[in-house]
Amino acid sequence: MGQARHKLGALERRQARLAKKASKLEEQLARRQGQLVVCQAQESQLQRRLEQFEADNRANRCPIQADFRLDAGFGVRENVALLIEMGYEVYTKPYADWLTPRLKRQATGRSDWMQVGKNAEMIAWKAATLYDFPYPLDVALERFWVGDKQTHATLLHFGTDPVTTDLPAWFRRYNARQTIEAGIKEGKGVFEMHHLKVRSAPGLYLQEQFAVFAANFALGSALAGDAVPAAPSRLANHSTAQSERAGQGRRTHIGVGQLAGTGLLVKVHGPQRLCWSVPCSRKALGSATAAAFLRKFMFWPFL
């Protein structure tokens, strides 16, 4: 009888423990069932995407080839995976802290950092397999010095470009997207289109075309600035003025004259070199350099 009572007590205590576990196990079961529903929905979505891509491949005989350079705000895993599946060359940064802390741990003790910028170095991993991403990626860890503080960032790439063989080129190519950002800011400010000045549809179209022309024209003029043409022989009424650079104490001779037969005032840097021309008054020509003059006047006839 004593053994039977001892065994009964052990079974009762075990039953109490299992009763406490039952509620936790039921919560785990409900959570796992919810995860199963989410996974099934994702699997169904991916299956539909695969079928759509297969249909697109059969119908599209000339697919578009494009490079995507995205900032970190668009570098979430779903976006990067979709662009890869669309067949594009992808350059981006990962969103938030998806990869950077992980790569910093992997880079501990490595001595093969390569200089890629004035205060930037990089190391890279070719076709790295990530447990939380479905495709191998070229990944690079950057480190910068801002004063005495060191910061890190990550670059991602998928495609045929051999980026890990030339890290400085990879660094320059990705960061060249900043020229696009500058163009967007110009579109909001210098060559703006969001303050509409006309109401008719033809007028809006002309305003858009003139804004695009002005942006391209200014960029082309800036690129041509290193190859300044000689002043034409019909430059008449040439006079020389002196302008002092603020804070530098240096004086530069700026020639200002009128181009015969055109009514245009021109700015001459030096005795024989025509830098830029603009239909304006003499008072407007106060800049000491062609570069500063270019920044001041963003749209003008280029002679």
Residue type, 247: G
Rg over CA atoms, the chain: 33
153 found inside a domain: yes
Q: Are residues 76 and 112 in the same domain?
A: yes
Say what angle helices 201-223 and 178-188 make with each other, to 10 degrees. Answer: 140
Q: Measuring CA to CA, which residue among 175, 197, 200, 66 is closest to residue 116? A: 175
237 found inside a domain: yes
Q: Which residue has the tokens 């196990």?
A: 25
For position 276, what pLDDT does the model report?
37
List pLDDT tens digits, range 182-228.
777 777 777 776 677 788 888 888 888 888 888 778 777 777 765 44
Q: Are residues 243 and 162 in the same domain?
A: no
DSSP 64: P
Look at strands 67-69 and 89-92 and give their pairing: parallel
Q: Are residues 147 and 190 in the same domain?
A: no
Q: Are residues 199 and 117 in the same domain?
A: no
Is residue 278 very low, low, confident or very high in pLDDT (cuts 50, 70, 90)?
A: very low
Residue type, 269: H
Q: Are residues 111 and 148 in the same domain?
A: yes
Quick one: tokens of 97? Answer: 């802290």
Q: Are residues 160 and 73 in the same domain?
A: yes
Task: Say whether pTM exceeds 0.85.
Answer: no
Alpha helices (runs of H) in the chain, residue ranges in sequence order:
2-59, 77-85, 100-106, 167-175, 178-188, 201-223, 290-296
Q: Are residues 169 and 117 in the same domain?
A: yes
Return the number of other C-beta atoms located less than 10 Å from residue 36's C-beta.
Answer: 10
Position with higher pLDDT, 106 vs 203? 106
CATH at 135: 3.90.350.10
What is the rounded end-to-end Cα distance, in angstroms, of the chain?
A: 116
Is residue 102 predicted with pLDDT exceeding 70? Answer: yes
Q: Are residues 92 and 161 in the same domain?
A: yes
In angstroms, rounded to a whole number, what is the distance separating the alpha carbons of residues 82 and 264? Answer: 54
In angstroms, rounded to a whole number, what is the distance separating the alpha carbons of residues 142 and 137? Answer: 16
In angstroms, rounded to a whole number, what is the distance separating the alpha carbons of residues 243 and 132? Answer: 62
Q: Are residues 164 and 257 in the same domain?
A: no
Range of the domain at 42: 21-62
Q: Are residues 154 and 202 in the same domain?
A: no
Helix, strand, coil % over all residues of the chain, rounded to 5: 45, 25, 30
Count of helices and strands (H, E) across the chain? 7, 10
- Torsion angle of C-alpha atoms 19, 23, 29, 33, degrees rounded to 10: 150
12 found inside a domain: no
- CB-based contact 269:225 (threshold 8 Å): no
Domain count, the chain: 4
Is residue 289 very low, low, confident or very high in pLDDT (cuts 50, 70, 90)?
A: very low
Q: Are residues 164 and 77 in the same domain?
A: yes
Is residue 234 very low, low, confident or very high in pLDDT (cuts 50, 70, 90)?
A: very low
Q: Are residues 116 and 169 in the same domain?
A: yes
